[in-house]
Each structure stands twice: as structure tokens, then as C-alpha cells.
Amino acid sequence: MIDAESSLIDVAFEACSALDRAGIVAVLCGGSAASYYCAEYQSLDADFVLRLDTSERAVNAALVEIGYRRGVSNVYSHHASRFTIEFPAGPLAIGRKIVQTWLTVNRRELLLHVISAEDSVCDRFLHYWAWHDRSARAIALEVARVVPNLDAGAIAAWAAGEMAADSSYDPAAWVAFEADLLEPMR
Amino acid sequence: MAPETRKPYLFGSRTRDRLLILLALTDELHVRGAARALGKGPSEIAKAVTSLERIGVVVSRIVGTTRFVSLNRRWYAAVELKALLERLGAADSELSAIAVRSRARPRRIGKPL
């Protein structure tokens, strides 16, 4: 049950489970996925990406069961919680890379689908790369620091793919980020 | 007008089509500037921006009371969309001319126009 004491991740578990009971797969992404890996960073909304053919009515009905109602700008809010739920447009992708696998975590009778730690690092770094959001870069590095055995090679392969497709991404920004990323792993 | 005689548009309406092409040619516009450039009301442009934002192809940011809009670089088909829009823009001399006039450059305060 969601109350004023519920954390963002508590809300994410409840929402993902309610959607799952309605047959809807929703994957936590964006800043809220970074919050899952790195408790020090607290986003104020849970961002879930749905399959493109998901019915809005079914989502509304599932979230009403846990006390969330749709308000303006398609933001779902709860009378007792400061955390909102949003559904950014799909497909589930980090830049050009379509995300086809994610983690499913169980907590008692609840579950949460969340993008992998590697995808979360890529996602936050892309926020910085595309829009120069320095806090997103710091969060990417923090996720990388706290998650053991991160696959840095997968992150580098993703970055190479983005640079190959879009020459406007600054390679120097990636090189500097990769150096910071690898530093704690040395 | 009967539905079968309406002209179809790639992105659902003429305003959305022209706004997207203009964004591809200019990188970033503010809503009032886009409205002026396209000869539309700011509310019509704001509505188009909101709908394009919902499907993820554009993003906007607020500076003071001004809403700036650009194509969403993070969208998974952003490169292909921009290429398509630039190609459509190249075939539209009116929009190309508007884009040239809309380009924002730094301008010293007080410099005569």
C-alpha cells in the first residue's frame, strides 16, 4: 500500500505490479531507474515505458487500484504520495538502441521491471550528451560506481553505435566520460 | 470537406508537418516565433508541440515565460527523422526562406537592426 512514507522505488514496485496484474508490461527507465540502482539519487517521478499498443484505459484502471489517477499532461498522482508516475513515449530505447531485455526484480508478492544498470548508465550519459545535463552525467557515474561487475564494454559499444549514427555527438565528451567510468574499475 | 477529399499529411496536419520541417532546418524555435513564421496562432503551435512531445519526437524547455522547442535528439529514430525533414524542407522554398530568417544569432544589445 502506498502512503506518505513510501519511497519512489516502493511506488515503482506497486505500480509495476498493478500493471502486471492487468497484463501490461511496464519497464522502469530514465532517472527513476537510476534511483533504483543508486539510492543517493532520488527522482520525483517513476517513468515507465509501455509497449506501443498498450491501452490507456487499461493503464488508468490498473493504476486507480493503487490510488493513482491521471491528471494534466498525462501525469499520474496519488493523494498520499509526492511521487508521480509518467509514461514517456515508447519504444523502450536508449538513443538508437532498442532495449529488448531488462531485469525483473521480485520483492515479496511484488515485481519490478527495470532497465539494466548498463542501460541506466547509457541513458543518464545520453541525457548529458544530448542536452548537456551535468547532473545526469554525475548520476551515470554514480550508478557505475555502486553496481558491481558493470559491463563497461557494452556501454562503450553502445556509445560507438550512437557516434556512428549521429556525428553531432561530441566524441571528446564520450572519451572523458569513459575515462571517469573506468577509473574506479582499475 | 469529405474525408476522402482532404489532403493527407505525413505527421497528421499541415501545421505539424511544417513545424517539424522548420525545426529540422533551424535546430530550435520558440513557440511565438514559430507561430509568427508559419502564420498561425501561438495556441495552435503550442497544441501541435504538445502532441508531438507526447509521441516523443520533439522536446521543449521553458526559459522565463518562453517555451523553446527542438527535435528530440534522444528519440530512437531522430537521425532518420531529421534527414527526412531536411529533404522535405529542401523541396519547400517558402519554408527554407522562413528558416533562414528564423535563425537566431547572438546580437549585441542596442545594435541597430
| Residue pLDDT, tens place only, B55-69 | 999 999 988 888 999
pLDDT at A128 > cutoff 80: yes
Per the domain annotation, does B107 fall within a domain? no
Q: Is A95 on the interface with B (CB under 8 A)?
A: yes
Task: Choose the closest CB to A93 out of B73, B76, B79.
Answer: B76
Per the domain annotation, does B35 fall within a domain? yes
The mean pLDDT value of chain A amounts to: 94
| Binary contact (B74, A126; C-beta < 8 A) | yes
Task: Choose the closest CB to B54 out of A89, A95, A166.
Answer: A89
Helix B93-102 and helix B78-90, axial crossing angle in degrees, nearest 10: 110
Chain B nearest-CA residue for A130: B73
pLDDT-wise least confident of A44-48, A144-148, B3-7, B94-98 = B3-7
Number of domains into which chain B is organized? 1
Q: Predicted confidence band at B1 (pLDDT cuts at 50, 70, 90)?
A: low
pLDDT at A90: 86
Residue B69 sits in a domain whose CATH number is: 1.10.10.10
Task: Choose the closest CB to A89 out of B56, B78, B79.
Answer: B56
Per the domain annotation, does B15 fall within a domain? yes
**What would the grid cell of residue A94 be?**
536508449
Per the domain annotation, does B83 fall within a domain? yes
Identify the domain containing residue B18 by its residue range: 10-100
pLDDT at B45: 94
Helix H or strand E encompassing A82: strand A81-86
Every domain of chain A and the residues it spans: 8-114, 117-185
Per the domain annotation, does B5 fall within a domain? no
Q: Predicted confidence band at B92 (pLDDT cuts at 50, 70, 90)?
A: confident
Q: Is A115 on the interface with B (CB under 8 A)?
A: no
Per the domain annotation, does B4 fall within a domain? no
- Domain A8-114 class? alpha beta
- Whether the link from the prior residue into B8 is cis, omega within 30° of 0, is no
Q: A29 in helix, strand or coil?
A: strand
Q: Give the up-direction half-sphere exposure of residue A176: CA atoms within 13 A in the CB hemisphere.
A: 10
